[in-house]
Chain A
């Protein structure tokens, strides 16, 4: 150990004791100064190739095998080799212990930045944000992925690679609609889930008796009495979690196919909070790394030169090009998140009149970190923006709102700009851009024609005239029909209830799913 007054590292080189020193220093600051509460950290040093590997399996350290990951790998690799894209400096996994991957070629300053960013910023967010607490099981995820990997491999052995692949293809196509959007009664416990899966199978196998098939089922309840209302109640309709619905209700799926759907569904659910908190997650991590690095520099533990190197990377990360810049591709979540958090800090510590009007609860309360910790714990992107985007920041980023109505031939209308009339509208519109309810098409299972040809009926509630891409919709519905094994129909209905388009797809048999 170097003396507490000395630098943590000099120059660009680092070794494992250096990482340990950096981590300890960051931990000290994060605890005493920022009051963060994190999962234990596990820092893993990896090569560029391993980083590419991780990219292709959605950042997870282990995953089941599927060709689509190979495709992503090939894609990433081609781009990386040509130098079109750099690789991320780190990947962090929402698990306990919280695993951060660091690239071996980072300089010592970059490692410090990355440790502060991932191992403390993201880590705190994962552990404390309500969405992650509600929807993910950080302790169980790695075990569950391990189970999933083993289970898929086992299914391939028993039922053939092709059959498994087709089921997974179909499940992947529906992945974005395999999510429970509203909290259920109980918390997801993946470890127990894994045991339950085993027990369920065991019970099914032990309780199987072919005789039951031959027992006359008594006087059938008249179909008529089973009125539509009861049927829908029985099937849990309407249901927007298509994978859940298929897993529970699809008439001809084999038990292992249901289990595969369940696995894909659980994994989609695990990633659900991440897609809703991009701005906040990155904003938090960026804010935390900025605070920690600045603090380290103030304590004299990072040299001026290294601190300048940090500032350069930091500035690149939070760069927000203007809309007419070639590099523009939407809001940079790092930039927006970081700017908002800094803005909150300013409002709390040093408010002006406008802030008192707009944020009476927090303006001038003094303890910026208490406010921020509360924000980190209890908001997602949409609510965060709709409550904390200040007029000052809107002016600073010079935001404006465009309304593009295809029916309007004259062109695109500028609906609001950063002025007194526009602040609230701007904020509402920007928040809406981050609202999952608006991002994903709203598709739900409406009914099943049990009396007739067992057709599965879906409805897409069209918002603002945005219809489904036809080619893709047909392909996804084909997958859906293959799983359902009877016809599937999808109607697109606009807000007035008039039908815009109807798709009907017949199933094509899956490969002998014996």
Chain B
């Protein structure tokens, strides 16, 4: 008899089969992924999770029979006698014996891992205009101290640590000190014959002991240890700017949130570390946390420039453009007070766009409103004008939840270099 321990065998033998399955079901799974990501918070959207797909195209047909007269033998008779007629109660009884894939007629449910989920979610999207991408990915390895080691190159010997260990060992083993011997030798100089013999023997013994216990033993030697550590250059900050004045409805905020969510997932995929800064504004801007950002209401006028100014201040104080990849997405219903246009335009073109990787403007509207089609809002026409002058702005209008993903997809899909920022 053999006993074999297979537990250490490489796991996930089924991985390849699983990938084949996902490849085959790709279109279906992609839809399911989008659907299941709708009800999530920004940061949770990255977690994998259960999806269910319809079984069309994924079924494995077999010749099956159905209907006809059926005979069954069952256990547990309680009161029937031969010849009884039992009324049919729907389809339930006797049918229950279809185990395994019995529910295959509905949807097929299974769990996607985080990576599989995000891969499908972001399939064929790409970051636009990566001016700083080289820098971002060049991350680089830093070296830092990490304690001591018993082996290493001579150059790395830590003298103080070695000396300390040697001292401890010498004390522990009672190695005679040089002063002790010198003292005895001094006594030797003027003493009588008997004492002399005793001293001579003592000195010889001490010297022998000192020879046996070395001053520094190879055991004591310690080397400084170094570890390489990736330097976290691959970091990005994402600014969410939103107008929260009274004219923004919950629906509009929801649209904006969904867009931010996608952007977050997308950045998270590319950068090791992503910070999010929420700036909401009415006629003045403030930095807030996520909950306040989406759910608190504030009232007041609308000055877009205040938000841009706030963003600029935050960038200057906390996020050096040399170290951070800066992304910004602004959501608004398009209202802005007329006099603010000039200032906002200047802030954007001179301060913000030069340091940002990407600046998107999403104009959100009511799902039933069609005012969009007739006239452009003041902010839209301002940005339109800036873009016509060559500012790298991306802008889209969104009215329905269902449009968010297409718009996002549209903004980030792979395309030729020249038109990266073109609509």
Interface residues of A (CB under 8 A from B): 16, 19-20, 23-24, 27, 40-47, 49-50, 52-53, 56-57, 65-71, 73-75, 77-78, 81, 97, 101, 104, 165, 169, 172-173, 175-177, 320-325, 328-331, 397-407, 410-419, 421-422, 426, 429-430, 432-433, 440-441, 443, 460, 462-469, 471-473, 475-476, 479
Contact B60 A322 (CB under 8 A): no
Q: How far is the CA of A344 from the CA of B397 in the complex (A)?
A: 80
Contact A433 B85 (CB under 8 A): no
Chain A CB count within 10 A is highest, among B23, B60, B66, B96, for B60
Kindly list chain A residues whose C-beta atoms are within 8 Å of the C-beta of B3: 16, 19-20, 23, 42-45
Contacts A19-B3, A50-B11, A466-B67 given; does A78 touch B111 at CB 8 Å: yes
Contact B60 A173 (CB under 8 A): yes
Kindly list chain B residues whose C-beta atoms are within 8 Å of the C-beta of A52: 14
Min C-beta distance of B60 to chain A, whole Å: 6
Residue of A nearest to B55 (CB): A71
Q: How far is the CA of A473 from the CA of B28 in the complex (A)?
A: 24
Q: List 24 A-B contacts (CB under 8 A).
A: A16-B5, A19-B3, A20-B3, A41-B1, A42-B4, A43-B4, A44-B6, A65-B17, A70-B17, A71-B58, A73-B21, A74-B110, A77-B110, A177-B63, A322-B76, A329-B99, A398-B76, A399-B75, A400-B77, A413-B85, A414-B85, A433-B71, A465-B68, A472-B63
Kindly list chain A residues whose C-beta atoms are within 8 Å of the C-beta of B110: 74-75, 77-78
Contact B22 A323 (CB under 8 A): no
Selected interface stretch from B35-43, B86-94, B283-291, B369-377: B86-94
With beta carbons under 8 angstroms apart, the residue of B20, B61, B75, B87 that contacts A67 is: B20
Q: Kindly supply a per-residue 1/0 record for chain B positions 107-142, scoring 1 wherever the CB is within 8 Å of any chain A CB and 0 otherwise.
A: 011110000000000000000000000000000000
Kindly list chain A residues whose C-beta atoms are within 8 Å of the C-beta of B97: 328-330
Min C-beta distance of A397 to chain B, whole Å: 4
Kindly list chain A residues whose C-beta atoms are within 8 Å of the C-beta of B87: 410-411
With beta carbons under 8 angstroms apart, the residue of A49, A324, A329, A468 that contacts B76 is: A324
Kindly list chain A residues whose C-beta atoms are within 8 Å of the C-beta of B155: none
Interface size on B, residues (CB 8 A): 62
Residues of B51-93 at the interface with A, using a CB-CB cut-off of 8 Å, are 58-78, 80-88, 93
Contacts A42-B2, A45-B6 given; does A176 touch B62 at CB 8 Å: yes
Chain A CB count within 10 A is highest, among B14, B61, B74, B87, for B14
Q: How far is the CA of A468 from the CA of B81 in the complex (A)?
A: 33
Q: How far is the CA of A320 from the CA of B77 in the complex (A)?
A: 13
Residue of A nearest to B111 (CB): A78
Contact A45 B7 (CB under 8 A): yes
Contacts A77-B110, A328-B96 given; does A46 touch B73 at CB 8 Å: no
Which 9 pairs, one residue from A and one from B, show the smallest C-beta to C-beta distance? A322-B76, A70-B21, A466-B68, A465-B68, A70-B17, A74-B110, A475-B61, A323-B74, A330-B97
Contact A465 B67 (CB under 8 A): yes
Contact B63 A325 (CB under 8 A): no
Kindly list chain A residues whose C-beta atoms are within 8 Å of the C-beta of B402: none
Kindly list chain B residues whose C-beta atoms are within 8 Å of the C-beta of A68: 21, 60
Q: How far is the CA of A226 from the CA of B358 in the complex (A)?
A: 78
Contact A321 B20 (CB under 8 A): no
Min C-beta distance of B78 to chain A, whole Å: 7
Residue of B nearest to A75 (CB): B110
Residue of B nearest to A71 (CB): B21
The verdict on B50 contacting chain A, using a C-beta distance below 8 Å, is yes
Kindly list chain B residues whose C-beta atoms are within 8 Å of the C-beta of A324: 76, 78
Q: How far is the CA of A407 from the CA of B5 in the complex (A)?
A: 59
With beta carbons under 8 angstroms apart, the residue of B6, B86, B99 that contacts A46 is: B6
Contact A441 B63 (CB under 8 A): yes
Q: How far is the CA of A340 from the CA of B86 in the complex (A)?
A: 29
Contact A402 B14 (CB under 8 A): no
Chain A CB count within 10 A is highest, among B1, B75, B82, B88, for B75
Q: How far is the CA of A361 from the CA of B267 in the complex (A)?
A: 80
Contact B69 A467 (CB under 8 A): no
Contact B74 A400 (CB under 8 A): yes
